Structure 1
Amino acid sequence: MLSEMEHTMESMMFTFHKFAEDKGYLTKVLSGEKEFPGFLENQKDPLAMEKIMKDVDQCCAGRVGFQSFFLLIAGLTIVCNDYFVVHKKQKGKK
């Protein structure tokens, strides 16, 4: 049985390979609101996803490998966590 952390890691690997298919990389398929609607709807910066994608696409090829995919997800998670922490603190004040 996988631990919660192992399950999270496995999910990230399966997700990457699902979208990458046999190419071994992702294109801007993840830049759409389709894959991150809940996370992106409350962002102060509507271009956050595009900025993070540009940061991880260091070759400027419009595609990312697994390592860059992981950085993309980490960047989005950090942005979303910042919102979550602020929102949680505001809820606690009421």
Structure 2
Amino acid sequence: PVGTPVRAAAAGRVVYSGSALKGYGELVIVKHDETYLTAYGYNRRRLAEEGDRVSAGDAIAEVGVGPAQKPVLHFEIRRAGKPVDPLRLLPASE
């Protein structure tokens, strides 16, 4: 639902926190190392700012609404700049 905390998938540094990238709404990007980053879009409110260090599970934003005017979180994992299937990298949910 709108307002649900959006949590960092892994530890890293916030390299972008803003709304200037078209198509993502309020966006937070966390760089985890030289290979991986995660992007979290369509937030209602960003809680993390550029330069912040975050740990896995830290609240970095709040869920907002997407283009269909429904609650949504756009989540991406990128490896060397290219999107990858997050299901192959994240732990299985129970």
TM-score between the two structures when normalised by the length of structure 1: 0.24
Larger Rg: 1
TM-score between the two structures when normalised by the length of structure 2: 0.24
Write 1 or 2 for the structure with the bigger share of helix: 1
